[in-house]
Structures are given as C-alpha cells and as structure tokens.
Chain A
Amino acid sequence: MFVSDKIPTYIYTSLNEEGVDIEKIMLATYCDMNDDHIFCDTYVIATTDNLYVLSGTVTLEHGADGKSRALDKVWKETAFREYDVENIERLSCEELISSARLTAKTSDGRTIFLTAMTNTCRSSVLLFIKYFERMKKGQISSPDFEIDAEDDPKERCCPKCGMRYPDRNRKICPKCMEKGKLYRRFGMFLVKYKTYIAIMLLSLVLLTLTGVLVPYVSNEFFYDEVLSKNGSFFGEVLFVVGLVVATRLLSQIFTVINGFISAKISAKIVYDLKMTVFKAIEKLSLSFFGNRQTGGLMAQVNNDSNTIYSFFCDGVPYFLINIVQVAVICVLLFIENPLLAALSLVTVPVFFFIILRTYRKEMKLHAKTYSSTRALNGQLVDVLGGMRVVKAFSQEDAEIKKFDRVSRRASKHHKKLSLFNNYVYPSVGLILYLGNIIALGVGGWMVISGYHDFTYGKLLKFVAYVNMIYSPMYFFADMVDWSAASTNALQRLFEIYDTEPDISEKEDAITPENFEGKVEFCNVDFSYTKNRKVIDNVSFEIEAGKTLGIVGHTGAGKSTIANLIMRLYDCDEGKVLIDGIDVKDLSFKALYDNIAIVSQETYFFIGSILDNIRYANPSASYEEVVRAAKLAGAHDFIIKMPDAYNTMIGFGYKGLSGGEKQRLSIARAILRDPKILILDEATAAMDTETEKMIQNAITSLTKGKTTIMIAHRLSTLSDADELIVIEHGKVAEKGTHKELLAIENGVYNKLYTLQAEALKNAGITE
C-alpha cells in the first residue's frame, strides 16, 4: 500500500462507515483543500475498483461524557464522492500558482475536478498519480505491492525527528544535523596534512610561550633584578638586553616558521578542496545542474573552499592558542596578585555582552552592504553585456540614472559600515581599556604602599599580561560567525560530495567490441518533473547506418529523445536499446565513444581552435584535424585567421559567427567518428545560404552512420530513410517523406505545406 501521508484512524472509521473495504486500499494521499479551494482535510483513496474523495474538518471537543477535560479530535465529514477506476483514463495534477488541482479524465472524455491543494501537498499527490497509473496498467494489483525506494515517505522525512526534509533532493534535516559529525569528517580530510598541521601547531605553541616570556624578561626581571640594587643581576644591563633580543628573535623565528608552513599548507588545502568539489560536480548527472544556478555552483567551488580553509587553518589553531594563552596568563595573574587580577578582568564580561549585541547590528550592516554591492555588480554586468541594445535604443541616460541609484545605495551602506567600524569598535575597546587603567591605578597604589611586596617591575609585567588577554577577546567574538559560515560551507561541500549521480554506470556494464549502431525505443515514457510526461509511450527503430528524421513543434520532445539516446537522462518506463542492449547496461565509454551530437547550441572552451576540435579525440593528428575541418567546410575560414588553428576562442577571446561555430562543431563530431550521430537542429540558426554550405559537411559526416536528425525545417529531412512526427511527446505519424505527405490532413502534410508556402512568400524556392 502506498500512503503518502499518515492517515488518522478516524479517517479509516469514516471510510468504513461509507462502505469502503479498508483491506483493499491500495493508495492514499492527503490534500489540504477541497474542490471549492477551501481549506479542509481531504483524503484521496484508491482501491483497484474505486477512487474515493473524502473531505471534512477536525475539531477539538471535550470527551463525550462532557466531564472529561481532555480534548478529542472529532472528524466532521463534509463530502464523500466515489468514482469507478475503470471509468478513469488518467489523473492529472494541474498547477495553478500557489495551489494545484487534482483532476480525472474519464473514458468518455469528460474532466472531473477531484480536489484542490496547496503546493505543499503536490509532491505526494504526484506520487499517488504515479502509482495510480501503474495500478491502471495492471503492474500492481494487491495492497502489499512494493513502492520504489525513492518514493518511500520515510525517505522524505528525517528519521530522527520525523520532520520533512526542506529539500527532497538534499536529505538534510537542519534541526538534527550534527555539527560535530561534519567537523570530524573534515578532520579525516585533513589527516594527510597531519605532519604540517603538527609543525604549525607546535610553532604556534612556541610562539605563545615566547610571547608570555617577553613581558617577564623586559619588565619584572629588568626592573627588579637588573636595575634594583638588591637584584641578583644588578648592573648587567647588556645581559638582559641580549636576553630580550634573544627572546624577540626566537619569537620572530617561530613566526616565520608558522607563516611559511601556513602559506604552504593553505595553498595545498584550498587546491585540494576545490579539486574535490569540482571532481564531485563533474560526476553528477545533468539533472543536478538543471536544479541549480551555475553562479551558485561557481561560488561553491571558489568561496566555500576558502571559507573552510580560513576557519580551520587560520581560525581553529589561533582559537586554541588564544584559549591556552588566556588561561595561562589568567593563572599567572591570579598567582601574582589575585585582587588586582579580579579588578582588571571585571571589564571582560561587560565587553563581551556589549560586543555580542553590537555584533548583530554589524552583521546586518554587512548583509546590507553585501546585498547592495551584489546588486551593483549585477547592474554593471547586465548593462555592459547588453551595451549593444542600450545604444540601439538610445537608453544611455536611463541606464546612467539606474546605475546612479544602485551605486548610491551601495555607497550609503558602505559608509554606514565604515562609520560603525570606526566609531563603535574603538568605543567598545575603551571598556576593555578601563581594566588596564584599573590595573595601573590600583597597582600603582599597591606598589607605593608596598602591598604584598608588589614591585614596579611586577606592575609593568602585570599590565603587559592584562593587555595580552584583551586582544584575543575580539578574536573570540568573531569566532561565532566564523564557525557558522564554515559549518554552512562544509555542509554544502559534503552535500555535493555525497550526491549520488542519477545516472550511474553499472558495475558489470558492457562495452561491445563491434558497435553497429541500431537504435530502438520501446514504449518509452519520460518526464523531467514528475507527472509531466515529455515523452509518452514512444516506440521506433532505426537500423544501423540509416537516417531517422524527427519532426515536431517546439517543445514536442524531440531533443529529449536525443538526451535519452545519449543517456544524459534515464527513461521512467520502457527501454532504449542500442544494438539490442539496454543503454543502462552499456558502459559510459561505449556510449560516449560511439555517439556524437551536433546541436544548435555550440559551446567552445577557452583554448585554440585546434584544442577545441581535438576535444572529441585528443590523440588526433594534425592531418586528421585539418581533414575534419575541410570536410566540415571550416578549414577555409580558419586558415584566413592570423593565428589559423592556433587562434584562441571561447570566453573572452575571438568571437565566431554562428555558421563558423556550427562548422567547427561539425569538425569536432567528424573527428570523433561516431557510429551514431545526432544532429539536433544543427542548422536551425543559419540562413539558407549557409545551411546549403553546411549541408555538404553534414552529408560527409553522416555517411555510413546511424543518423538521427532533428529539425523543424522539413526540407532538410526529406532524404531521411524514415521520419517520425512527435506531438505532445507521442509519435503522431511514422513513415517516409512520401508516405507522410500522402496522409491527407496529416500533421506532417500540414507542416510541410505551411513551410513551403512561407518560403515561397519569402521568394525562396527549394
């Protein structure tokens, strides 16, 4: 049984009263509205024979005897409807804006409105529909059927607290996420740097020790033992100066060692982190990228590794050292003069209280500054990228005004933040400094009055130690935010690292020795988002070496077919076979070595033309590259460029025209020499002249290969061995160009006539 949400017992009672056989319930789901879009509890229940919709409300009432004070949940049914499953052709979840409607299409063509819901319930309803379809197809017939692992309601909730994961794809419960676990895991990552980290920590400890030693030598020892007549080193100034210099020098040596190790290790760890994230990203399926913004991913690779590094390599060691330093100094101060120590440190808690309060204000100012700077950058990128359009529509003045407004806002927030940092922090610092003054005043009085042998040297040492306690305080205040930011970054890092690719290679995947190139689609269903079928029960077959043309309106699902052959996505139902083997059983190597795609969107990486053509086959010789470019009709324009095949292209380099890019991408595909070639609207962006030129390149490319040509310009497909017409994800017509033209009022016939007329009107004859 599939129950997407918990069904309370009173619902079962109510259903029982309505004559529903509880034992027969196959599927159940909850919606938070009724068919009038009014908030109430609605349950949609399915057995193999019937579909029930039960609506009502729950009220809290005192016990039935009227005496009990405990409140009971009382169900008040407001509607109950029953439908024959046999009469329902399919269920649909129609999206509105913040809500959706569950409707049923009956076999007599009517649509029935079952219930409405907010988007919160939509994902459960979509699963209900998925299993309802399986039930209709007879794939499941008894309530004890097994649901797919990913649909298990338990998989959508935190096992610890039961709370629904905010994001189904990220199985992270923010309430229960253990910080410690994250840090421990990252600690394992750092294990390989243990020697460096140990040296760094040791140098920090030594640095702290020498730091504590300096005030002692240059104050108490100097004044009480060297300058004082009773001192054991009286008059030996040079010795003490030498001691001070030696201590300082030692401290400096440890600083250099620490800096050296830190610089070395930082570069390595940041590199390692970036590579880890990037490798993990590269492994992921295309659907992962569809759900995320590229900018966000870039930030993840770049910023997160820096954040994590700085916290763990700059923050944590200093934090530990500062803790030790503060503890050691406190002990020394209290041993030396407990009364003065207590008086001098009384300002520390006050400082902390105020700094944490002002800190929140500062964070707000930072967030505002950040958001206004982001808006300013966005505005700048937007306008500079679209400068052609700005000039074409003479909108320079308007753009200057817009920029001025955004820039002013950013400047205002920057100013506020600077003022805050310049006024507030020094003022708060004064509170700490008050402790210093107390130490000097009370300490001075103690020296004069000879309180417990408190000498001038001891006073100076005391004051120096008090000052050494103050500086870590700022650091501790910063640690709160620092740790939050790094926890966030760590969590994002492991999220990517842990994401399992939707498309994975089987352990025993097959790499056939002889790849023929026969492609078959057997009753394939596919949807990018659940219940929105893009490909609906599609079946076709192409023999090896033949050409199949795919025709259809924009958005009909043509390119999705190409994606499924390439196994960029896996189909939901049915099978995609190559040479009789399911693509899911083939190795990635077999697939990518033997299938190539030339699409309307061409993409070139930063590099030379040579590198980009060789992208398909890095071991190709110069001769092979030139031959491929010649076949693609690209050689002639490449050779005219001053740097010819070494011309740098890609982001920030030489721009190529649409036709040039297309020819390069064909050259790339020729070099791959695939058995199966997919041409996805390869010539759509070109004028007829260029298209004709490229047509020759395409002919040489497709020779002897299984070719799948997707095009909306039908004239390019007339030579195909077979054509299929896709409409709303289904195969509407199938046959040769002639056969399809012969179908009167057929989709292909209509499209062809329409296009031929349009071309004639434009003065172009084929």
Chain B
Amino acid sequence: MENIENKNDIMLEDAAKIIKLDGDNATFEMKNGFLALTVKAGDEEQIYDRVFLHRAFPHELLWEYISVTGSENKEVGLIYNIDDFSSDVVELLKTEINRKYYSPVISEIYSVKERYGFSYWKVRVDDGRTLNFTMQDTFGKIIRIGEDSAILVDVDGNRYTIKSILELDKKSYRRIELYL
C-alpha cells in the first residue's frame, strides 16, 4: 500500500511539474512569421517551430504567468515574468501577446441604440478610430472585470475593453450605465 501511495505521489508531482522558461533556458525568435522556441534542458535542445502564448490571468497579470504551448496544445513551459528575458525578446513576446489579446480600448461612447434585441454601438477607440458594432443580449455580453472595467463582446466575437467605467465622460457613462 505504501508503495502505491509513493507511486501516486510521484505521478502527482510529475503532473504538477512546471517548466519555468526564462532567458537562460529559452530562446524565442520569429520564423516564417510565427513565434518559434528553443528550450535547453541540460545538454539537450528541444526546438518548437511554432509556439502559442496564453495569459494565465489575462485580467490581472498582463506580463506574468504566460503559458507557452506547442502545436499539439501541450504546455512547453511557463514564463513567470516576461522581464526574465532580454529587452528584444520582451519586445517580441509583447508583440505576439498583444496580437493575440488585441481588443480596442473604448475611450468614448458616441451612441447606443437598442432595437429588437440588438444594440448598436458607435464608439471611439484609443487609436482614434470610430467603430460601429452590434451586440446581442447586451446585458450578458458585457463582462465586468472587477469593479471598474468591462469587456464588450459583439455579435462577431470581437472584444472591446473599457479600462475604467468611472473615468468615462458623463455622456458615455450614461449610455453604458443601463447595462451594468
């Protein structure tokens, strides 16, 4: 029995084993437009032609706990802090993460029109563009993040972020207030 328990412990430990990726054991680079990774483990080198980055806590820690998976969707390792890499790699990783989590930040809400179960939004986003989008089930598709932020998901699945609802101008606040 004792033997079985020990074995189980070992299996659990294996399952929970996290490979920490940092500047010493991991080299990220762009290959054919995709992010590639080489991981050193002792004398051996494992090369991944394509890796994907996932934030473990996308609403809390933007540049920490980044999971790196290979094309088989298995985790290669975990970046505890993006600053564990050299500045050019940080730039590379940030670009890739920003691309994945791209979500225009709404700075002003020009209008919200409700019609037959859909709401039509006209907003200004942080890069100055004016965007129009449509939401269905508006109450359900505004995801509150903490007390002050929100994510709006439109009918196509595009996401729009409001970093601080309270910091919106009065008119914009009044337009979204109903759905909060």
B-binding residues in A (CB < 8 A): 35, 37, 96-99, 110-113, 116, 118-120, 122-123, 166-167, 172, 174-175, 177, 293, 296, 364, 367-368, 371, 487-488, 491-492, 761-763
Contact = CB atoms under 8 A, between A and B. Distances in A.
Contact of B99 (A116, A120, A122, A762): A116
List 6 A-B pairs, minimum CB-CB distance, nearest first.
A113-B33, A174-B115, A119-B157, A166-B134, A119-B156, A98-B159
Place the interface of chain B in its size category: 20 to 34
A367 B112 CA distance: 15
Contacts of B116: 172, 174, 177, 487-488, 491
7 contacts: A37-B102, A96-B99, A98-B101, A118-B156, A166-B136, A371-B180, A488-B116
B102 A763 contact: no
Given A112-B32, A119-B158, A120-B158, 18 more contacts: A37-B102, A96-B102, A97-B159, A98-B158, A98-B159, A99-B99, A99-B102, A111-B50, A112-B33, A118-B158, A123-B156, A166-B118, A166-B136, A167-B136, A174-B118, A371-B180, A488-B117, A492-B117
Contacts of A112: 32-33
B136 A120 contact: no
B110 interface: no
Interface in B126-180: 134, 136-137, 139-140, 155-159, 177-178, 180
Contacts of A761: 4, 7-8
Contacts of A98: 101-103, 157-159
A728 B136 CA distance: 33
Interface string B102-123: 1100000000000111101000
Contact of B155 (A97, A110, A167, A367): A167
B34 interface: yes
Contacts of A364: 177-178
A111 B34 contact: yes
Interface in B76-106: 99-103
A122 B33 CA distance: 20
B96 to A, nearest CB: 10
A362 B99 CA distance: 43
Contacts of A96: 99-102
A296 B137 CA distance: 10
B118 to A, nearest CB: 5
A420 B7 CA distance: 68
Contacts of B101: 96-98
Contacts of A97: 100-103, 159
A173 B157 CA distance: 19
Given A37-B99, A118-B158, A491 B117 contact: yes
A368 B177 CA distance: 9
A112 B49 CA distance: 12
Contacts of B100: 96-97
Interface in B47-80: 49-50
B29 to A, nearest CB: 15
B99 A35 contact: no
A487 B115 CA distance: 10
A47 B178 CA distance: 50
Nearest to B58: A97
Contacts of B120: 174
Contacts of A174: 115-118, 120
A521 to B, nearest CB: 26
